[in-house]
Amino acid sequence: MDEEDEEAIKKLQATLGELRNDLYLGIGAAISHWSQLEGSLIYIASWLMDAQIEKVGLVFYSINNFHSWLSIIEELFEIDPAFAPFKPDWNKIAKKLKGLNDTRVRLAHHSLVGKDIFELARNNADLSEAVPALTPNKHDVRGKWKKKSIGGSELLTFYTGVTAAHDDLIALLKKIQPIYLGPKQKRLDRIEEFRRKAALWDEHQKSGA
């Protein structure tokens, strides 16, 4: 490798470093976005169970299998006649989330790897192998990871998919909110009516005295 080639490789190496940093930022943003989506799932589950959100969060986050989250929520939609009409909406969202979760697991457990560009250049190998991408640990040889590594385009696809799924979750929350809040509002209205009548009675007693 002559001096001119070495200088060109150094420039490529600097570009690869910038790309690596961008991917790290993208991975962090994608995982954070997924975490926000999980929060909306907890809200839906708490409304379906009519339970305190802190308690529901404790139970759900103690379940390590994300598919179990989806199955529980599906069952909750089925057993309550008030919420059952919205199960088709949920099924569409759950289908998206099952596909996205596979990528989410890879973002959380795989590492960003790219071969040394100088070594590739010295061996006249394919320089594209230096481009960083998310790959499983070399000891993780399970068949389910025999797929294309995650790069920038796949990361963007995941982020866009999470955004769309989260928007669908928010829309579903808005649909079921009146059903969830309806009984509570009626109780509040009865309490307010009782307070109003009690105040009128007090005034009547005072005026009579």
* Whole-number pLDDT of residue 122: 75
Kindly indicate the confidence band of residue 184, based on its pLDDT and cuts at 50, 70 and 90: low
Mean pLDDT of 27-53: 93
The CA distance from 85 to 81, in Å, is 8
DSSP conformation letters of 168-209: HHHHHHHHHHHHHHHHHHHHHHHHHHHHHHHHHHHHHHHHH-
Kindly indicate the confidence band of residue 107, based on its pLDDT and cuts at 50, 70 and 90: confident
Q: Which range, of 130-144, 176-190, 191-205, averages the lowest pLDDT?
A: 191-205
User: Within 10 Å of residue 2's Cβ, how many Cβ atoms?
Assistant: 7
Mean pLDDT of 3-12: 78
Q: pLDDT digits over 51-97, tens only? A: 999 999 999 999 999 999 999 999 999 999 999 999 999 999 999 99
The CA distance from 73 to 46, in Å, is 10
Burial class (CB in 10 A: 0-12, 13-18, 19+), 161: middle
* Whole-number pLDDT of residue 198: 60
Q: pLDDT digits over 117-169, tens only? A: 777 677 777 777 777 778 887 777 777 776 667 878 888 999 999 999 999 99
How do the domains of the chain map onto residue ranges?
3-181
Please list, residue by residue across 64-83, b when 16 or more beta carbons sit within 10 angstroms of its beta carbon and e when fewer do. Answer: eebeebbebbeebbeeeeeb
